[in-house]
């Protein structure tokens, strides 16, 4: 029996019709993560925001704003292997 911790980076894309709207949604997501983290910790999963950045205007349609929030997802796995009956 043993445990192993794994981590993976994930990104959340946030889009809106104004930079103000995108910022509000982004902050709402970040504020939500700690509450979700507590529930997920019980299941062995933790989500942590690591960085965020605006998507350049030349990479979005006109009148659309975007941000990327990168998160680290950590998962604790426990594997049980039955002993052989030799």
Which one has a higher pLDDT value, 47 or 21?
21
* 69 in any annotated domain: yes
Q: Which of the four pLDDT bands, split at 50, 70 and 90, describes residue 48?
A: confident
Percent of the chain with pLDDT over 70: 83
Split into its structural domains, the chain has a count of: 1
- The pLDDT tens digits of the residues spanning 9-42 come to 788 899 999 999 999 998 888 888 766 767 766 7
* 58 in any annotated domain: yes
Task: Give the strand order in the sheet containing 2-16.
Answer: 2-16, 65-79, 45-54
* 51 in any annotated domain: yes
CA 43 to chain centre: 16
Host domain of residue 32:
2-79
What are the strands, taking DSSP E only, across the chain? 2-16, 45-54, 65-79
> pTM above the 0.85 mark?
no
How far is residue 48's CA from residue 72's CA, in Å, rounded to a whole number? 5
Mean pLDDT of 2-14: 73
């Amino acid at each position: 029996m043993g445990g192993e911790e794994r981590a993976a980076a994930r990104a959340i894309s946030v889009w809106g019709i104004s930079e103000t709207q995108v910022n509000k949604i982004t902050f709402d997501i970040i504020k939500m993560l700690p509450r979700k983290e507590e529930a997920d910790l019980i299941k062995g999963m933790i989500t942590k925001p690591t960085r965020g950045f605006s998507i350049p205007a030349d990479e979005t349609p006109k009148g659309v704003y975007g941000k990327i929030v990168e998160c680290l997802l950590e998962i604790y796995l426990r594997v049980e292997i039955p002993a052989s009956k030799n």
